[in-house]
């Protein structure tokens, strides 16, 4: 059932447009060069000549079954998730000097710290909602 309506999208962190208000030159893979690895900058055809590359597969399912709003809300949610994934993967690439060389446990600790910081910024006064930090 889900496979019949599945839509595959390829996200390319080097060429996908980023809204001007979210753009940061320091997080632009086309301008970034890692001091630790020498990787970057990514050119538009980077996938053809860069080895190795990382692929991340995400399954996103959005259901908003309210007559008159379903299509618009579901489309909006899909676009929002797509934009979040593009920004997050651009950041993962351009922040590699912060995490390159870490052990898996160090990466998990770094993730927990970032979740905690995010929760403090996003949810400063709310006690009814938290972001899941169970990454194992």
Return the exposure string of 95-129: e unless at least 16 CB atoms fall within 10 Å of the residue's CB, then b.
ebeeeeeeeeeeeeeeeeeebeeeeeeeeeeeeee
Percent of the chain with pLDDT over 70: 90
pLDDT of residue 94: 97
| pTM for this prediction | 0.78
Return the exposure string of 53-63: e unless at least 16 CB atoms fall within 10 Å of the residue's CB, then b.
eeeeeeeeeee
Where along the chain do its domains lie?
2-101, 102-136
Dist CA 5 CA 15 (whole Å): 26
Nearest Cα neighbor of 11 from 71, 90, 95, 76 is 90
CATH architecture of 2-101: 2-Layer Sandwich (3.30)
Q: Which of 42-51, 59-68, 126-135 has the lowest mean pLDDT?
A: 126-135
Give me the chain's average pLDDT, please.
88
Please write the tens of the pLDDT for every residue from 78-129: 999 999 999 999 999 999 999 999 999 999 999 899 888 888 887 766 555 5
Q: Please check the confidence at residue 134 and state whether its pLDDT lies above 90.
A: no
């Amino acid at each position: 059932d889900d496979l019949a309506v599945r839509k595959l999208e390829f996200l390319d962190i080097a060429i996908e447009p980023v809204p001007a208000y979210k753009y940061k030159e320091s997080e632009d893979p086309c301008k970034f060069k890692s001091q630790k690895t020498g990787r970057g900058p990514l050119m538009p055809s980077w996938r053809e000549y860069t080895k190795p590359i990382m692929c991340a597969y995400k399954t996103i399912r959005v259901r908003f079954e309210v007559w008159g709003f379903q299509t618009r809300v579901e489309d909006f949610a899909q676009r929002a998730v797509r934009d979040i994934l593009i920004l997050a993967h651009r950041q993962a690439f351009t922040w590699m000097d912060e995490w390159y060389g870490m052990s898996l446990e160090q990466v998990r600790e770094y993730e927990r710290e970032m979740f905690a910081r995010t929760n403090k910024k996003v949810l400063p006064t709310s006690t009814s909602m938290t972001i899941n930090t169970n990454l194992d």
